[in-house]
Structure 1
Amino acid sequence: MWGVIGIMIFSHTLIYYCWICLTYYEGRFPYPSGVSDIIPFFARMGKHVVEGASPTWYACMIYWAFLLFEAFLQYVCTGVMVKGLPLEHEGGRQLVYNCNALQAWYITLGLWVYLQWSGLFPWSTLMHHYGPLLTASVISGNAISVFSFVIAIATGAQFRMSGNLVYDFFMGASLNPRIGSLDMKMFAEIRISWMLLFFLTTSCAAYMHEVHGTVSWPMLFLCLAHLFYANACMKGEECIPSTWDIFYEKNGWMLIFWNFAGVPFVYCFQSVYLAKVAGPIEHSSWYTITLYVILCTAYYIWDTANSQKNHFRMQQAGTYIKRPWALPQLPWQTLKDPQYMTTDRGSKLLISGWWAYARKPHYAADLTMSLCWGLICGFGSWVPFIYFAFFFTHLMHRGMRDNERCAKKYGKDWDRYLAKVPAQFVPGVF
């Protein structure tokens, strides 16, 4: 219980502390000057939040207009109908997902461009109201967490409960809460977090142009990086129902808060740093070009590795559907003759494509991209590297968890698999 309380407190503290660093201390980490300064230090931090991040009706309106617009698109856009994995606690029932995030993404992008072009809502508006928007997202994430938990208990949708109220609130009560055809967990994980991240970063670019009259190559780098990530999530939405987050992890505070607040507002701190602190900095040509090349290479490996794994699963289940309009269509994203190892349980473990070289090639590529997000900002502050440090810890924990889970699940077959694919991340390196 105390562990999850600590995580919830730390999550709120991290978001606001980093925002304070960038807004009031030019990216430096403020700290008490001594024991006698501890209480005044916290008073100063609280004053910064009250002065610069108090929620406003306008910020709440912007945030909820975005949520409701995306929810509307979820209901009205046609998409690929995909069945999820069988749910053991519901007798093997398979939920059906209307995967229309790509259509919603294209519509939202078109509207975003129109709002800037017409002057109705300049992109820089998000940066001008960043503090209040951050708090609006924090309040919303917490409120939706409480609402989801209470509704699950009230309707008897809870399962796999520990009996500890705080822990169950953190982990969630229900697996797949829905409002009609809208799956709240997948909706938040795919559309809200990554779309909002991209729009916040483009807002930072617009703010930089507004203040300095130019947009630097590092800022364009982050726009490209976040476009890569958001677009990949939208075009690959039909692969998501078979992932661990959707078919096993319940919809608790951990997922809800980070999807509605943590991911978009913490992951864009590099962009905020460039917009508000560093300004239009430029690095040497070789440094910048090298990072662009590494980013594009890592993105290609990450996208195609995820596609290979999920397309293989869908091919085995007979649910794979080609979508040539989901751009970009990358070479080697679908294996024509995938090689696999069959376990005694009947499961098939992919051992070809990128998965012949490592058990977590997508993690290695993901970490590489996250490091590039920090490196492009230079070394004037450590704040741009907080995302990489957080993500590194998260993926290392998830990798160890998956190893333990698979060893228990497959037994000797897992040992055979490790003999075929011994590397976890990068063969011979990591």
Structure 2
Amino acid sequence: MNRQAQIAHHNSGLDVITMLTNLNLKPSTESIIIYLSAVLFSVIGTLLIPGKWVPGAPLKDNSRVYYKTNGLLVVLVGSLIYGALCYTNFQFAGQAIYTLICNSFGELLTVSLVFSILLTTLLYLRGLFIIPEKERNFLYPKWNIPMNFWCGVELNPHFFGFEIKEFSYRPAFLMMSVLNLSYAFEQYRLYGALSTNLVTFQAISFFYTIDAFVFEYGLIYMFDIIEENFGFMLVFGDYLWMPFVFTLQNLYLVNDFNVNHTQTFVNIAIFIVGYIIFRGANNQKFVYRQDPKQVWLGLIEPKTLETARDRKLLISGFWGVARKINYLGDILIAIAQSLPCLQCGYLLPWLYPIYLTALLFHRAMRDNERCKEKYGKFWDEYCKKVKWVMIPGVY
């Protein structure tokens, strides 16, 4: 048998239709155990591994939610344990654990969907019948069940003493690491080597994961955490979209040994530029929120525009270049994660950057409307000072 055929359907014309019809989507007992193990480890790790408790952004009632920032250790320890299992060729259901996971991609996808639906249902019923009335945050009339299920009823649901919305990034990133490690070990098993494109993709993905938790305080100030209820939209994003869409590239790269050094160089350069923009802009804003007088990196004075609502709009550094400059960085990082699949010739590995670009452009338009209503003439003045929305010189 051809070695490539040992991994069903990988790198064999995986357009959307082929993927949905050829991947085995019926969950097995093993796929359920694997997925729930990642979630359970994240819960236990969050409870037992030491971490600093930090306050989140002020809510509308001026209260603050406290978050345990031990996500880096939770994901690293989980990844190291799984990596050790792969290295020792741990057998599960008669085959190496990493081979089993590679061949169970479709099954795990289904398990994550069912888990997302069940968790959202639990959160929805909890919001209706368990939590106090004052903690309910209906965005739609109570009778509008579909939209309240989609958007959620509660802003900051708590389980086991910690806030579950921010926590959910941990099983998402841990499952990403598990999938990435599985495909790396499987490629090495098949070919005795790792391809340049797979290493490039996984190095960027690993760096992205570690960075997210090194700057975990930044997650706490994200729009999703501060403003969005925890409904199916976010649950699906954390428990299915992130771990499986962010790792789709592996399915195309596991058998790919094409080498294009120019492409790899450009790939890494795009990632570095995107990361500098994304992390620099977010860090500058975080530092400003912590101390409005602090000079960022000792170089950039925090220049602001006064408004009538006792709020100031930052107009220096990254935030003097474009109003949503961090979105540009995020999109470039997403592009860099899909570029290793450039020679594969299929659209599906580009699902993440395509989706993210559409999402962020739409979010930028919504945010502009919201800020226009919120700040009035001051927003017009701000837009004159910071002309570009996201891409300097273009948009």
TM-score (normalizing by structure 2): 0.88
Shift of 1:393: 0.9
The counterpart of 1:186, out of the listed 141, 154, 166, is: 166
Alignment partner for residue 299 of structure 1, among 275, 281, 301? 275
1:280-359 mapped onto 2 (5 Å cutoff) = 280-316=256-292, 337-359=301-323
Would you say 1:109 and 2:87 are equivalent positions?
no
Distance 2:69 2:298 in 1: 19
Equivalent in the alignment of 1:13: none
1:335-394 deviations in Å (ceiling 9; x for gaps): 664222232212222222211211112211111122222222124211112222111111
Aligned partners of 2:48, 2:11: CA distance in 1, in Å? 43
Q: Does the alignment pair 1:96 with 2:75?
A: no
Question: d(CA) in 2 for partners of 1:382 and 1:420?
Answer: 39
Alignment partner, residue 27 of structure 1: 14
Confirm or deny: 8 A CA contact 2:300 2:317 kept in the other structure: no
Q: Pick the aligned partner of 2:342 from 378, 384, 389.
A: 378
Name 2:156's counterpart in structure 1.
Answer: 176
Q: Structure 2 residue aligned with 1:81, among 32, 53, 71? A: 53
Amino acid at match of 2:199: L
Equivalent residue letter for 1:376: P
Aligned to 2:380: 415
Please tell me whether the aligned partners of residues 86 and 182 of structure 2 are also in contact (alpha carbons under 8 angstroms): no
Shift of 1:24: 9.1
Instruction: Tell me the amino acid that sits aligned with residue 116 of structure 1.
Output: C
Select 2:41's aligned residue among 55, 58, 69: 69
2:129 matched to which residue of 1?
154
Matches within 5 A, 1:362-401: 362-379=326-343, 380-401=345-366
Which segments of 5 or more consecutive residues in structure 2 lack a partner in the other structure? 1-7, 92-96
Q: SS of the counterpart of 2:259?
A: coil
Structure 2 counterpart of 1:108, one-letter code:
G
3-state SS of 1:292 partner: helix
Q: Are residues 22 and 248 of structure 1, via their aligned partners in 2, closer, same or farther at CA, if it must alter by over 3 Å?
A: farther
Q: Supply the AA of the counterpart residue of 2:336.
A: C
In 2, distance between residues paired with 1:391 and 1:115?
Answer: 33
Query: Secondary structure in 1 aligned to 2:341?
Result: coil
- Aligned 8 A contact 2:138 2:152 in 1: no
2:5 corresponds to which residue?
none
In structure 2, C-alpha distance between the alignment counterparts of 1:336 and 1:181, rounded to whole Å: 39
Question: Among 382, 387, 390, which residue is 1:425 paired with?
Answer: 390
Residue 377 of structure 1 aligns to a residue in which SS? Answer: helix
Contact (CA 8 Å) 1:341, 1:417: kept in 2 or not? yes
Counterpart mapping for 1:152-231 below 5 A? 152-156=127-131, 157-163=135-141, 164-188=144-168, 190-231=169-210
Contact 1:295 1:368 survives alignment (8 Å):
yes
Q: Residues 307 and 333 of structure 1 are in contact (CA less than 8 Å); yes or no, is this contact kept in structure 2?
A: no
Please give the secondary structure, in 1, of the residue aligned with 2:14.
coil
Question: What TM-score does the superposition give when structure 1 sets the normalisation length?
Answer: 0.81
In structure 2, relative to structure 1, the CA distance for the partners of 1:242 and 1:221 (3 Å cut) is same
Distance 1:334 1:395 in 2: 30
1:139 to 99, 114, 131: 114
Q: Distance in 1 between matches of 2:106 and 2:304?
A: 49
Equivalents in 2 of 1:366, 1:144: separation in Å?
A: 28
Describe the shift of the 1:390–1:213 C-alpha distance in structure 2 as closer, same or farther (beyond 3 A): same
Asked whether the 8 Å contact 1:367–1:388 carries over to 2, the reply is yes
Separation of aligned partners in 1, 2:72 and 2:303: 30
Shift in Å, 1:29: 4.9
**Which residue number corresponds to residue 3 of structure 2?**
none
1:128 aligns with 2:103: yes
Identity %: 27
In 2, distance between residues paired with 1:96 and 1:334? 29
Aligned CA distance change for structure 1 residues 100 and 417 (closer, same or farther; 3 Å) = same
